[in-house]
Structure 1
C-alpha cells in the first residue's frame, strides 16, 4: 500500500454546537491520510492521489459550518472516496484548538478511520 498524507492543514472555521462558536469561530488543524494499492507506474499521477485535490476537498468542507466535528470528518471522507475510488483506507483527524470548555484544553479531537 502507498500512503499519501497532508498534515497540519490550518483553517479558521465556524464549527461548533454552541451559537457563540458559530459566530466567533475557532482555529482548526486537519490531518488526512489515504492509502492506495502501489501504482505500477509511480510517475503517473493518474494512478495516485493528487494532494492538491485533497486540500481542495478539505477547504470546501471546512467552509460549511457544522454543529459537530463528526459530520465534518465524515463529509471529508465521503468526498475523498468519491474523488479517488482507488482509496482503500482513509483517516481524517480534526482538532479544534482551545475549545470553549471553561478550562485550559489544548484541543478537542475527532478522528474517523475507514477501510474500503
Structure 2
C-alpha cells in the first residue's frame, strides 16, 4: 500500500453551527491521507494520487460553509474518492482553531477514517 497526503493545510472558512461563525469565520487546518495499491515502482503522476489534486478538492469543499465539521470531512471524502477511484482508504482530520466556546481551547477536531 502507498499513502499520499497533506498535513496542516490551512484555510480561512465559515463553518459552524452558530450564525456568528458564518459571519466571523475561523481558521481551519486539514490533514488528509489516502492509500492506494502500491506494489510496484511508480514512474508517472498518472500512477498515483497527485497531492495538488487533493489540495484543490479540499480547498473547494472548505469554501462552502457547513454547520457541522462532520459534513465537511464526509464531503471531502466523497469528492476525493470520486476523483481518485483507486483509493482504498482515507483519513481526513479537520481542526477548528480556537473554537468559540468561552474557554482556552487550541482546537476542536473531527476525523473520518474510511475504507472503500
Given the two structures, how large is their TM-score scaled by the length of structure 2?
Answer: 0.97
User: Structure 1 residues 95, 53: CA separation in 2 closer, same or farther (over 3 Å shift)?
Assistant: same
Cα shift at 1:71: 0.4
Does the aligned pair in 2 maintain the 1:10–1:29 contact within 8 Å? Answer: yes
* Matched-pair contact (CA < 8 Å) for 1:39–1:47: no
Q: Which runs of 4+ in 1 moved over 3 A?
A: none
Distance 1:98 1:113 in 2: 24
Structure 1 position 89 matched with structure 2 position 89: yes
- 5+ unaligned residues in a row in structure 1: which ranges? none
What corresponds to 2:6 in structure 1? 6
- Aligned equivalents of 1:84 and 1:40: distance in 2? 18
Give the paired residue count.
116
Which residue matches 1:22?
22
What's the C-alpha RMSD, in Å, of the aligned pairs?
0.8
- CA deviation after TM superposition for structure 1 residue 40, in Å: 3.1
Aligned to 1:67, what secondary structure does the other structure show?
coil
